[in-house]
């Protein structure tokens, strides 16, 4: 068999689709051509050679194509759940009060420490499958509920294993500085020393983490303590990022900017000085509307200022058992628009190109372009804005991951498009 025959035999087309490529929505009907696992061409449908339509197979027609979605901030691996605290909060106890009473993150730490690797894998898998069914093809997963080398390592191994067993790219982040473990009560600086001198080097040596995160907050670690973690990460050549300015302004964003952090996450309390600092550092502003919603926050991140400063904005689920028990990224598109007033285009950039940037993988992920690995979603909607506009599951018609169709459905009850 000649090479040409083989190549054209494998050509698959998504014809006359509305294309959002990660940056913009094309205004003419487009055709996505896949060949040997790559995007061979992205071209206006009217320019598709007739021969291709005859030879190649039409894998889809009509609807919308976007890059595979990227959830760039999750705590997907954890033991137990916190439905009891949900009830407490409904009775008026605050998230910070629950944390101060030894609940919150620490109750998940207890449950995570008690779980085996297999148990953590089994509980995380359906959560990841929910994201996958919603069009997600890359997920960042943080540690941070182990808070000792052994348990943090266990979490990160589970994250890596999820990526090897399911059709999804997993990016791992070491979040040893998430909360103070009970055995270090009153000795936060000593715990940070343990993180910097023992845990982080061991995790780096095993290549279990792609980046390092911290929780810089009055209920967590000080800016000075977070800086020590960043210094240790920098020495090991690992990129950093931070949970900053979520509940108060600790100027964590300025710290992040000084260490060229990949992203500053939450940032409800980000002020002008913080914006000025991250403006030129290449740092992405990651918005987590699910946590804002769950905690019934009222302080909205400074969207207009971020927009004016040209700072890229990403959106993620922050999927975790406490402040954001949410495993649906398309719902975050809606919340980013409804709660934070992003435009649907900004929201879509936030789960594609800008989310890739927040993970430092934008050279390979988050944008559809000729020559790239074919990882994309075919949606049963007529315009990309609909993905943000309505809250509706089962709109994913096909999910293509690294050239393989890993999901194929008619999507709900309607049959909008002819195959
Ligand atoms: N901020 C968050 O939103 C999560 N961690 C963090 O530092 C919440 C974690 C939790 O409540 O379990
Ligand atoms: Fe988080």
Which pLDDT tens digit goes with each residue over 85-137?
999 999 999 988 998 888 999 999 999 999 999 999 999 999 999 999 999 99
Q: How far is the CA of 141 from the centre of ligand 1 (A)?
A: 13
Q: Flag whether pLDDT at 217 surpasses 60.
A: yes
Is the alpha carbon torsion for 150, 166, 389, 362 positive or negative?
positive
The answer to whether 60 and 398 are in contact (CB under 8 A) is yes
**Closest ligand 1 atom number to CA of residue 178:** 7
Report the C-alpha gap between 157 and 143 in whole angstroms. Answer: 10
The answer to whether 229 and 211 are in contact (CB under 8 A) is no
Mean pLDDT, residues 264-292 taken together: 97
DSSP 128-151: HHHHHHTTEEEEEEE--SS-SHHH
Report the C-alpha gap between 250 and 254 in whole angstroms. Answer: 9
**Which ligand has the shortest distance to the CA of 324?**
1
Q: How far is the CA of 243 from the centre of ligand 1 (A)?
A: 9
Report the C-alpha gap between 333 and 16 in whole angstroms. Answer: 25
Mean pLDDT, residues 320-332 taken together: 97
Mean pLDDT, residues 62-72 taken together: 98
Q: What is the pLDDT of residues 138-156, one digit of tens each?
A: 999 999 999 999 999 999 9
The answer to whether 234 and 203 are in contact (CB under 8 A) is no
* 93: nearest Cα among 296, 309, 299, 387: 296
Q: How far is the CA of 375 from the centre of ligand 2 (A)?
A: 26
Number of residues assigned to the chain: 419
Report the C-alpha gap between 84 and 87 in whole angstroms. Answer: 5
Tokens representing residue 409 in the block: 């459905």
- Identify the DSSP state of 68: P
Report the C-alpha gap between 401 and 365 in whole angstroms. Answer: 12
Q: Flag whether pLDDT at 381 surpasses 80.
A: yes
Confidence band of 189 (pLDDT split at 50, 70, 90)? very high
Confidence band of 407 (pLDDT split at 50, 70, 90)? confident
Cβ < 5 A residues, ion ligand 2: 318
For a ligand 1 pocket test, name from 318, 325, 326 the mutation site with the most ligand atoms within 8 angstroms of its C-beta: 318
Mean pLDDT, residues 212-232 taken together: 97
The answer to whether 267 and 283 are in contact (CB under 8 A) is no
The pLDDT value given to residue 6: 43
Report the C-alpha gap between 134 and 137 in whole angstroms. Answer: 9
Q: How far is the CA of 321 from the centre of ligand 1 (A)?
A: 8
- Reported as type and span, the H/E element at residue 378 is strand 376-379
For a ligand 1 pocket test, name from 78, 220, 322 the mutation site with the most ligand atoms within 8 angstroms of its C-beta: 322
Mean pLDDT, residues 275-287 taken together: 96
The pLDDT value given to residue 3: 38
Neighbours of 68 (CB within 10 A): 27
* 396: nearest Cα among 383, 410, 385: 410
The pLDDT value given to residue 409: 81
Of 102 and 304, more confident: 304
In sequence order, what are the beta bridge partners of 263? 284
Neighbours of 116 (CB within 10 A): 11
User: Phi and psi for 196 in degrees, rounded to 5?
Assistant: -75, -40
Tokens representing residue 64 in the block: 């919308």
Mean pLDDT, residues 3-30 taken together: 83
Report the C-alpha gap between 64 and 45 in whole angstroms. Answer: 14
The pLDDT value given to residue 221: 98
Per the prediction, the chain carries an average pLDDT of: 94
The pLDDT value given to residue 101: 86
Confidence band of 55 (pLDDT split at 50, 70, 90)? confident
- CA-nearest residue for atom 11, ligand 1, is 322
* 381: nearest Cα among 338, 416, 346, 352: 416
Residues of the chain with CATH 3.20.20.140: 69-358
The pLDDT value given to residue 9: 54
Q: How far is the CA of 73 from the centre of ligand 2 (A)?
A: 6
The pLDDT value given to residue 56: 74
The pLDDT value given to residue 408: 85
Query: C-alpha distances in angstroms, 154 versus 102, 158, 168?
Result: 23, 6, 20
Within 13 Å, how many C-alpha atoms sit on residue 312's CB side? 24
The answer to whether 63 and 383 are in contact (CB under 8 A) is no
In sequence order, what are the beta bridge partners of 398? 378, 408
Mean pLDDT, residues 347-369 taken together: 98
Whether CATH 2.30.40.10 fits 12-68+367-408: yes
Which residues does a 6 A CB cutoff place in the pocket of ligand 1? 75, 104-105, 108, 178, 215, 243, 246, 291, 318, 320-323
Q: Tell me the pTM.
A: 0.95
Confidence band of 304 (pLDDT split at 50, 70, 90)? very high
- Reported as type and span, the H/E element at residue 31 is strand 30-35
**Which ligand has the shortest distance to the CA of 290?**
1
Q: How far is the CA of 295 from the centre of ligand 2 (A)?
A: 13
Q: Flag whether pLDDT at 69 surpasses 50.
A: yes
Whether CATH 3.20.20.140 fits 69-358: yes
Report the alpha-carbon angle 14-15-20, nearest 5: 70
Residues of the chain with CATH 2.30.40.10: 12-68+367-408
- Reported as type and span, the H/E element at residue 273 is helix 272-279
């Amino acid at each position: 068999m000649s090479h040409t025959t083989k190549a054209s035999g494998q050509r698959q087309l998504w014809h006359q689709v509305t294309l959002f490529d990660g940056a913009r929505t094309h205004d003419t009907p487009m055709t996505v051509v896949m060949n040997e696992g790559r995007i061979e061409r992205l071209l206006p449908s009217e320019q598709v050679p007739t021969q291709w339509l005859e030879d190649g197979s039409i894998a889809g027609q009509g609807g919308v194509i976007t890059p595979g979605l990227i959830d760039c901030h999750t705590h997907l691996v954890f033991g137990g759940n916190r439905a009891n605290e949900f009830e407490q909060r409904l009775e008026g106890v605050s998230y910070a009060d629950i944390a101060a009473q030894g609940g919150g993150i620490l109750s998940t730490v207890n449950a995570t420490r008690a779980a085996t690797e297999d148990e953590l894998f089994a509980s995380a898998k359906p959560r990841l499958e929910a994201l996958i069914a919603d069009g997600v093809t890359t997920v960042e997963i943080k540690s941070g509920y182990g808070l000792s080398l052994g348990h943090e390592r266990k979490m990160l191994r589970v994250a890596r294993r999820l990526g090897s067993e399911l059709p999804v790219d997993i990016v791992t982040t070491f979040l040893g500085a998430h909360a103070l473990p009970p055995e270090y009560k009153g000795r936060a600086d000593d715990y940070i020393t343990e993180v910097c001198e023992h845990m982080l080097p061991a995790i780096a040596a095993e290549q279990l983490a792609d980046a390092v995160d911290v929780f810089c907050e009055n209920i967590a670690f000080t800016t000075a303590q977070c800086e020590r973690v960043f210094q240790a990460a920098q020495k090991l050549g690992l990129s950093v990022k931070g949970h900053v300015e979520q509940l108060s302004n600790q100027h964590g964003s300025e710290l992040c900017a000084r260490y060229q952090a990949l992203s500053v996450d939450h940032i409800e309390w980000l002020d002008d000085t913080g914006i000025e600092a991250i403006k030129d550092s290449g740092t992405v502003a990651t918005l987590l509307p699910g946590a804002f919603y769950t905690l019934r926050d009222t302080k909205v991140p400074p969207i207009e200022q971020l927009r004016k400063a040209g700072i890229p904005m990403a959106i993620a689920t922050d999927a975790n058992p406490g402040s954001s028990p949410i495993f649906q990224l398309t719902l975050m598109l809606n919340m980013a628009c409804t709660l934070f007033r992003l435009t649907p285009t900004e929201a879509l950039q936030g789960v594609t190109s800008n989310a890739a940037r927040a993970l430092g993988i934008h050279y390979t992920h988050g944008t559809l372009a000729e020559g790239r690995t074919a990882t994309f979603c075919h949606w049963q909607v007529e315009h990309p804005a609909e993905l943000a506009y309505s809250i509706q599951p089962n709109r994913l018609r096909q999910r293509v991951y690294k050239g393989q169709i890993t999901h194929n459905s008619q999507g709900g009850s309607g049959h909008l498009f002819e195959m």
